[in-house]
Structure 1
Amino acid sequence: MTASLDLDLRRFTRPLGGGTHLTVWVALLALIVLGGLRYDNFLSAYNISSFLGYNSMFLLISVGMCLVIMTGGIDLSVGAVAALASVVAALLSPDGLIVALPGGVATGLLVGAINAGLIVGLRLPPFMATLATMLAARGASLVVSDNRAVSVDWGSDFTTLGMNKIGPLVPWTIVIAALVVVVAWYVLERTSLGRTVLAVGGNAEAAHLMGLKTGRALVFVYLFSGACAGLAGVFLASGYGAGQPLEGQGWELAAIASVVVGGTLLTGGMGSIPATVAGALLFGLVFNLLNFENGLGVISLSAYWQSVIRGAFLLVVILLQVRLARPHPTKA
């Protein structure tokens, strides 16, 4: 029965092409080599640690977004949820990390549950449902924070999560983010739930007719995405000493871009957790290189122009992926 089910699922899911998967890793390695050769302090412990600590937040929301997009859905609320969770975690910080951390994640889970209810229960399109929760979460973060940054309690142990490291290089946040990545990879690659996620994206109606628990898969991915955004908000508050109600704008677009660069189809049914990780790190590295370039004084690019370059870089990578993934005609 299990073997038969696996064969049926392969009809509605598409494995990620080797060329598409490889492109993002090659680009990431090329930028690392370029940075190491061009900039004196690029491979310093400080830069590596800062890069990993900051991008752990984007890594989390990108992995959550990847699972959502694999079902053919979208989650536009992740940036606003991260901002709201950062405020909640900052308000709970006097009680310490043991309370503030679950509080921030629970905030994300709550919004994820609302998204799942709207999409699975009321059958609203994911774009409209998560757009509504994005606006609601953004408004809630401003209301709860009284439209200002909420300072954390520096007397508690809350900031140890975002500021402490394992040795000189590895922040605790990237370790936790890596654990979340492993969990997502395991669910997708080693469980029936993961195969159902891909089946829903490949052909939701066929998956339902096969008797797969498509509703459960959808509920899971939106809960997981919400939890990842909530945890990213905790990282934000703990690492920067304040809950930021205005932070997170555009994070959902950065997550979507990372997922697309990693080869996941926006229509669903195909994707890779490791490639999404590489995509998130790749985009973070582009900004890191631009900051070093500004420091050399050769060019001076504002954040606006950096966004333009980042968008152009996204376009180039996608075009390369399309070219590599396109089947080559065979000679007669």
Structure 2
Amino acid sequence: MNILSMMSNLSGMKRKRNTSKQAEGVLVALMLITLFASLRYDAFLSEYNIMTFLSYNSMFILIGLGMCFVIMTGGIDLSVGSVVALSSVVVAHASPYGIEVALPVGILVGVLAGAINAFVITKLKIVPFIATLAMMLGARGMALVLSDNQSVQVSWDSNFTQFGLGKMFDFIPWPIVAMLVAFVFCWILLEKFAFGRHVLSIGGNEEASKLMGLEVNKTLFGVYILSGALAGLSGVMLASGFGAGQPLEGLGWELSAIAAVVVGGTLLTGGLGSITSTLLGAILLGLIFNILNFENGLGTISFSAYWQSVIRGGFLLVVVVIQAKVINSKMRRTEF
């Protein structure tokens, strides 16, 4: 038992060193880009731009946090974008009852989707890629059915839109507050609870985790439910902030989440990851697109919104190639 404890402590120390290096690397890139943008654009550091930027990107950060847990187990969740759309449609229908009803309903939609994903993966033994792909199609189809293939207007007579458009203390938008609360919760869950260690252990070696007596299926249920819940919360933000449930929104958001997680240094193979680095990765990607908007405003370049997908894909490809080279290099050193 003492030997296992020592091995666990050594592994934890090594992981913390690796994740801290990842966070430092992303933070340095973030600071350099921020410095460049602040010198080039007069309104870049204005309160309006900062709050608008963080408020909009809160949705991507939320699904990125959930995706981080999933990827750390060695899995993938392709359904988050569709779950966001489905949640937005459902809460739009529930909006006349106020945010007190719509918010838990939207999160519940995500929890249900995550639970179904987990059941298919753990009980039916379907690989996460296929299981969540099926959910992606099913959730999108259900969103279109419930909305009759059109945007569902929310009720402006209730307090529902205050969640997406209102501010706490007339200063901090509620989406930012919700995102920060979710970030702190996820960080504590990973760093301070056994659940986080189990997630990393499963990603490192699932069979070894079972032999150690870890409740692998229970942990995977928790991970996919968490991912679904955060996607559901993003759907509430979407409907409340834009005034409508949008069944066609969320297309490609799962790729944005994956890109943020991978850019943050989390290994696609699982077993290593950081909530802080994922937050910074999501902000870094969002910041690049924010800069492109400023450049369009200056008229020096003219990039359409479609270029965001091109840039996101390029980032993802570069980081994955770098990860693959690092992993192969470590494997070669281990062999010798």
TM-score of the superposition, structure 2-length normalised? 0.91
1:321 Cα offset (Å) = 7.0
Match of 2:42 in 1: 40
In structure 2, do the counterparts of structure 1 residues 314 and 72 end up closer, same or farther at CA, with 3 Å as the change threshold? Answer: closer
Aligned partner of 1:106 among 105, 108, 121: 108
1:221-270 Cα distance to aligned partner (Å, 9 max, x none) = 00000000000000000000000000000000000000001110011000
Aligned partner of 2:23 among 8, 21, 25: 21
In structure 2, do the counterparts of structure 1 residues 136 and 21 end up closer, same or farther at CA, with 3 Å as the change threshold? Answer: same
1:4-34 Cα distance to aligned partner (Å, 9 max, x none) = 5544546877615243332111111111111
1:44-99 Cα distance to aligned partner (Å, 9 max, x none) = 11111110110000000000000000000000000000000000111000000000
1:319 Cα offset (Å) = 6.4
In structure 2, do the counterparts of structure 1 residues 9 and 123 end up closer, same or farther at CA, with 3 Å as the change threshold? Answer: farther
Which structure 2 residues correspond to residues 161-200 of structure 1 after superposition, within 5 A? 161-166=163-168, 170-200=172-202
1:315 Cα offset (Å) = 4.6
Match of 1:158 in 2: 160
1:298 aligns with 2:300: yes
The question of whether the paired residues in 1 share the 8 Å contact of 2:267 and 2:323 is answered with no
Match of 1:220 in 2: 222
**Cα distance in 2, alignment partners of residues 183 and 264 from structure 1:** 18
In structure 2, do the counterparts of structure 1 residues 180 and 171 end up closer, same or farther at CA, with 3 Å as the change threshold? Answer: same
List structure 1 segments (4+ residues) > 6 angstroms apart after TM superposition.
11-14, 319-327
Match of 1:50 in 2: 52
Aligned partner of 1:279 among 278, 281, 286: 281
The alignment partner of 1:137 has SS state of helix
**Cα distance in 2, alignment partners of residues 290 and 169 from structure 1:** 26
**Cα distance in 2, alignment partners of residues 292 and 249 from structure 1:** 24
Which structure 2 residues correspond to residues 61-80 of structure 1 after superposition, within 5 A? 61-80=63-82
> Structure 1 vs Structure 2: percent identity of aligned residues?
57
Counterpart residue identity of residue 311, structure 1: G
1:170 Cα offset (Å) = 2.2
1:123 Cα offset (Å) = 1.2
Instruction: Out of 133-142 and 187-196, give the one that drifted further.
Output: 187-196
1:304 Cα offset (Å) = 2.4
**Cα distance in 2, alignment partners of residues 258 and 6 from structure 1:** 33
The question of whether the paired residues in 1 share the 8 Å contact of 2:23 and 2:264 is answered with yes
Counterpart residue identity of residue 173, structure 1: P
Aligned partner of 1:253 among 255, 265, 272: 255
The question of whether the paired residues in 1 share the 8 Å contact of 2:88 and 2:239 is answered with yes
Match of 2:268 in 1: 266
**Cα distance in 1, alignment partners of residues 74 and 136 from structure 2:** 19
Counterpart residue identity of residue 156, structure 1: S
1:130 aligns with 2:128: no
Instruction: Out of 294-303 and 13-22, give the one that drifted further.
Output: 13-22
**Cα distance in 1, alignment partners of residues 11 and 137 from structure 2:** 34
Aligned partner of 2:149 among 147, 150, 155: 147
Instruction: Out of 266-275 and 180-189, give the one that drifted further.
Output: 180-189
Counterpart residue identity of residue 48, structure 1: I
**Cα distance in 2, alignment partners of residues 6 and 105 from structure 1:** 37
Aligned residue pair count: 327
The alignment partner of 1:268 has SS state of coil
Gaps of 5+ in 1: none
Counterpart residue identity of residue 15, structure 1: R
In structure 2, do the counterparts of structure 1 residues 126 and 308 end up closer, same or farther at CA, with 3 Å as the change threshold? Answer: same
Instruction: Out of 172-181 and 54-63, give the one that drifted further.
Output: 172-181
The alignment partner of 1:269 has SS state of coil
The alignment partner of 1:299 has SS state of coil
The alignment partner of 1:303 has SS state of coil
1:312 aligns with 2:314: yes
